[in-house]
Amino acid sequence: MGKEGRQAVRCSDYAFARFRFLQKILLVHGPWYYIRVAMTVQYFFYKNIAFITAQFFYAFYTQFSQQTVFESFYLTFYNITCTALPITIYGIFEQHLSKKMLLENPLLYKEISKNAKLRLWECFYWCILGFYHAFLFYYVPIWLLGDDIGLKSEQVNYGLWSFGTIIFTNCVIVVNIKLIIETCHWNILAVASMVITIVGYPTLASIYSGIVWFNATGWELFSTTSLYWVFFEVHKIAAMWFCILLSVGMAFLPDFVYKMIMYYYYPSQSQIERQMLPSSQRCMCQGIGPFELLRSNCMREDGVFCSIYQRSDRLITPHGSLDNGSLAT
């Protein structure tokens, strides 16, 4: 490297000592970084739509007044402690495919080309999912608590903060489960962040709801009297947990059906690669059903590396596979 080259390096943000280093930067760190950023941006929109849209639904019942359905504690801590840490760890450490797989199959880079993960349809999907989940968070408890039904044995009715607590609990559980489903790479930090979030919400809510806080002068430090013991009263009844199970099940049923259809009938290149056995390059690929899948690597005439897949038209039997068909993708 000459004098001009060294000066250019000092003025640049990134520098590579060898051209061969570009392969790992483009084929490995490029897809990793893009998937992390795309998922983090869309997940932030999703989780906030799922949370705050319940307030929009509640406005129709209050003549669009300034009354909130959530106590100030929930509004403050939702993005700070209940959902922030897992997606932060995801945005730093997520690896949707291994480094070896990305290096051996350069064709996988095509999946993120032309801003594939931030297209209008992808953003629209996350927004619609957020609105759908918010609809369930709000109207499932409405159906459960409608007509002033007394859920306790003494037929005591719950108030506004109890209703908001049910919505908030459903929201925290569902948005974190959604991130668990989308996460491909689990390490100690990812597991710890999810455990801290799941345990942290009831812990903080119990402390805030179970203690009346006063400062040294005897004045109330936090306005907790309205939420005092509400968290415990709400979560000790069986109907509340039935509401949570029903909301979670209804929330993920459409998402599950959509993912199964795409996974089994319209698999992406990365989904196919996850099912490949590196030792024999032959697998039972769930993306296209229980058929034999063979891969052969080749170089096109224009010098572009590609992979050719051939699927058998017959099922694999326990005694071995039959002759390959003519299907190639």
Determine the pLDDT at residue 157.
Answer: 59
Q: Strand, helix or coil at 200? A: helix
Q: Which residue has the tokens 């052969």?
A: 296
Q: Tell me what pLDDT residue 212 has.
A: 58
The 3-state DSSP class for residue 186 equals: coil
pLDDT reported for residue 15: 78
Alpha-carbon gap, residue 159 to 285, rounded angstroms:
52
- CA angle, 82 then 259 then 311, to 5°: 140
Q: pTM above the 0.85 mark?
A: no
**Residue 328 in contact with residue 307, Cβ under 8 Å?**
no
Q: What local confidence, expressed as pLDDT, does residue 171 receive?
A: 93
* Ranges under pLDDT 70 in the chain: 1-2, 146-158, 211-226, 274-329
Count of CA atoms in the C-beta half-sphere (13 A) of 244: 19
Torsion angle of C-alpha atoms 103, 105, 108, 109, degrees rounded to 10: 50
Cβ-contact 128, 45 below 8 angstroms: no
Q: Is the Cβ–Cβ distance between 215 and 100 less than 8 Å?
A: no
Q: Check: CB of residue 184 under 8 Å from CB of residue 96.
A: yes
pLDDT of res. 241: 86
